[in-house]
A and B are shown apart, each in its own frame.
Chain A
Amino acid sequence: MSIRERMSGNEAVSYAIKQINPDVMAAFPITPSTEIPQMVSTFIANGEMDTEFIPVESEHSSMSAALGASAAGARALTATSSCGLAYMWEILYVAASDRLPIVLALVNRALTGPININCDHSDSMGARDSGWIQIYAENNQEAYDNFIQSFRIAEHPDVKLPFMACQDGFITSHAVENIELLETEVVRKFVGEYNPENYLLNSEMPMAVGPYANSPFYMESKYNQRMAMKNAKKVILDVAEEFEAISGRKYGFFEEYKTDDAEVAIVIIGSAAGTSKEAVDKLREQGIKAGVLKIRVFRPFPGEEIAEALKNVKYAAILDRAESFSAYGGPLGSEIKSALYDAKSGCTAINYFYGIGGRDYTVEAAEGVFEELIDIMNGNKEIEQFKYIGLRQ
């Protein structure tokens, strides 16, 4: 029996952590993820779980401590946001190349400068090439569900990669919504025990983790990482299928919302997908064939599948919540365009930026994007790439 509750995204992830009861959590507080280690510490203090909590002096240390714990053989995790993730940067790459299945609860927040505590995806998008799996949630339910699936994916023998479970700062992390929780026994049975084949504390077989790999070894090592990331695609789908069996909730690489017959579509990550779906519903009432493709899995990047999902769409707006400062588009826009090009797709992609630094993205804003796509489709407007939605001018 599932449990009906109401919770914020941070509460949902903390509750998932309590249910999983991992071995080690190392964390340093930073808005808007602070509540996660705070709530987990409370659960531990109240004897509701027995995770070893390591309060550290920085995020460089929290990721390092999680890495050490994971190498030792523990199921380890941390949580952070924004500059906290930036401060982990060096160790993010080490965790991935050492093939340690650490889970990071990331609450997306704009990277400083200028200083800003609100949501955008510049933190995780900056870490997109660090070798971590990245899965994004639209709401508290997905934040909870993704987290429960995280360790299963990360620890799978074909994968062995660290996992970033992302949710939108404040919008998801602090908004209280209805949620359906699984019973703890069901979660524990689903996640299972972590019994790594090799680990540092195994006195039967001493081992070296993270040895020096200069030019004769580095490239082969990176290729193995890429193979593991490719393997993660199947594992993500397999775990989602098993998760559906216990929860009734279906997950894939992305959610296709009314895209079957859509002529125009918005492709978007995170909480703003809900806002875009609302706009789709309104436009559908007027007979406009609009849809939304909500990207859940960004690493590994399901390029072929995205191109397939967009194959009948004439004009797609790819909405990025992070700048890349290439001056030629954002990360999601660039990668989807590349996927469409390789698929020789007839879908024209137009890259927008929205919600940067927490700027509101409203149903009206989404409708405005669809109207532009329709005007372009009807030959009434020239394509303009890389617009900032809601920019004052």
Chain B
Amino acid sequence: MAQASDLSKINEKSPYYDITPGNQIYGGGGAREFHTGEWRTQTPVIDWNKCTQCLLCTPVCPDSCIVVKDGKRQDFDLDHCKGCGICEKACSFGAITMKEGI
């Protein structure tokens, strides 16, 4: 059985012999290391004064970037948010705004 892949060592400088057959990645949760948030052009910004903690935004996020802790949503996980804007549309209180250039 393979060791869990050390993703810090498989990168754009890895020679071919350090890349696994079929590019297989061993060990779970590897997607956490892949910062898809870099693809984002629009960024969700929350106005905490308007947020009622209704949590309607949480389940609609396709990238699970609205983490709930102790019954309350936290700020966005911008490492993985691709800026799709679904949360903005789901918010009934106008608490989320998509902004460019931040």
Given A206-B28, A223-B16, A224-B16, A217-B1 contact (CB < 8 Å): no
Interface size class of chain A, counting residues whose CB lies under 8 Å from the partner chain: 20 to 34
Nearest-neighbour CB distance to chain B for A238, whole angstroms, equals 19
Given A220-B14, A220-B15, A220-B16, A228-B21 contact (CB < 8 Å): yes
Q: Mark B5-27, 1 if CB is under 8 A from A, else 0.
A: 00000001011110101111111
Q: Is the CB of A216 within 8 A of B12?
A: yes
Contacts of B1 in A (CB 8 A): 197-198, 202, 204-205
Q: Is the CB of A220 within 8 A of B19?
A: yes
Q: Does B102 contact A (CB under 8 A)?
A: no
Q: Does A18 contact B (CB under 8 A)?
A: no
From A204, which residue of chain B is reached at the shortest CB distance?
A: B1
Nearest-neighbour CB distance to chain A for B83, whole angstroms, equals 19
From A196, which residue of chain B is reached at the shortest CB distance?
A: B1
Which residues 192-237 of A have a CB within 8 angstroms of B? 197-198, 202, 204-211, 213, 216-217, 220-221, 223-224, 227-228
Size of interface on B: residues with Cβ below 8 Å to A: 18
Q: Is the CB of B25 within 8 A of A224?
A: no
Q: How far is the CA of A206 from the CA of B2 in the complex (A)?
A: 10
Q: Is the CB of A205 within 8 A of B27?
A: yes
Q: Is the CB of B26 within 8 A of A211?
A: no
Binding site secondary structure of chain A: loop
Nearest-neighbour CB distance to chain B for A92, whole angstroms, equals 14
Given A204-B1, A205-B1, A160-B26 contact (CB < 8 Å): no
Nearest-neighbour CB distance to chain B for A4, whole angstroms, equals 41
Contacts of A207 in B (CB 8 A): 2, 24-27
Q: Is the CB of B24 within 8 A of A198?
A: yes
Contacts of A223 in B (CB 8 A): 16
Given A198-B1, A221-B19, A224-B19, A208-B12 contact (CB < 8 Å): no
Given A197-B1, A205-B2, A211-B23 contact (CB < 8 Å): yes
Q: Does A50 contact B (CB under 8 A)?
A: no
Q: Is the CB of A206 within 8 A of B27?
A: yes
Q: Which of B15, B26, B27, B30 has the most CB of A within 10 A?
A: B26
> Which B residues have a C-beta under 8 Å from some C-beta of A?
1-2, 4, 12, 14-17, 19, 21-28, 30
Give 10 closest A-B pairs by Cβ, nearest first.
A99-B22, A206-B28, A220-B16, A216-B12, A208-B25, A99-B21, A98-B22, A223-B16, A207-B26, A220-B19
- What would 24 A/B residue contacts be, using CB atoms closer than 8 Å? A97-B22, A98-B22, A160-B22, A197-B1, A198-B1, A198-B24, A205-B2, A205-B4, A206-B26, A206-B28, A207-B2, A207-B25, A207-B26, A210-B22, A211-B24, A211-B25, A213-B23, A216-B12, A217-B23, A220-B15, A221-B16, A224-B16, A224-B19, A224-B21
> Which A residues have a C-beta under 8 Å from some C-beta of B?
97-100, 160, 197-198, 202, 204-211, 213, 216-217, 220-221, 223-224, 227-228
